[in-house]
Amino acid sequence: MTAPTIVYDLDGTLADTAGDLMGALNFVLGREGLPALPVDNARSLLGAGGRALIERGFAACGRELSPETLEPLFGDFLAHYNAHIAVHTRLYPGVPAALDAFEAAGWAQAVCTNKMEASAKMLIGKLGVAERFAFVCGQDTFQVGKPDPKPLIGTIEASGGALSRAIMIGDSATDIRTARAVGIPVICVDFGYTDAPIETFAPDRVISHFDALETAVAEVMGDL
């Protein structure tokens, strides 16, 4: 029988990346003569990838950003971010133990993020958990990002899994919409990057610590 598959979002779900992502954004904003934004703004800015973060950052500063200007700024953002990718970033409490538990139980584990694939792989490598994942999908892996269902479907298939035995773990409305579009259940953490309480978007379960993930998955998925 196909092993069950658990697919995690990265930013705001497995790892608190706000400090380093906002640092890269503020680097770009400063180059353009705009004020730095506080890390507290991350909850409303993060979640849709680097380009969207830059666009939202400019909007927060009251400046319009033309499409032809965005790409070179994204290049600068990405270079700065990759050079400082794990200065402040840490796995959330309970993540290593949860990954161990699902591995021991025979689950395939994967990451599906709106980060660029190379950045995602670099980060999980620096955080010491790269070997846990059968597949890592970024925004550019399938040439489209979440909430389009294609990245999540591709991630499950590339991990050797089946949609009927898969679950998504995320932190945002984007993750919930993606899982719903694919037709799989979704559990969300309540400490990630969202500008409204995650319960607003009606995931199947909400957890406040990774210690609660095994029980939540068992409740949602039943006896696999």
List active site positions: 9
- Is 146 within 8 Å of 178 (Cβ atoms)? yes
d(CA 20, CA 12): 12
Apex 131 CA angle, 127 and 137, nearest 5: 85
- Is 133 within 8 Å of 127 (Cβ atoms)? no
- Among the listed residues 2, 3, 4, the one whose alpha carbon sits nearest the alpha carbon of residue 168: 4
Helices 173-182 + 150-158 axis angle, to 10: 70
Q: Which long-range contacts (CB under 8 A, 24 or more apart) does 198-202 make?
A: 198/171, 198/172, 200/173, 201/172, 201/173, 201/176, 201/177, 202/176
Question: 13 — phi, psi (to 5°)?
Answer: -115, -65
d(CA 54, CA 52): 5
Q: Helix %, strand %, coil % for the chain, to 5?
A: 50, 15, 40
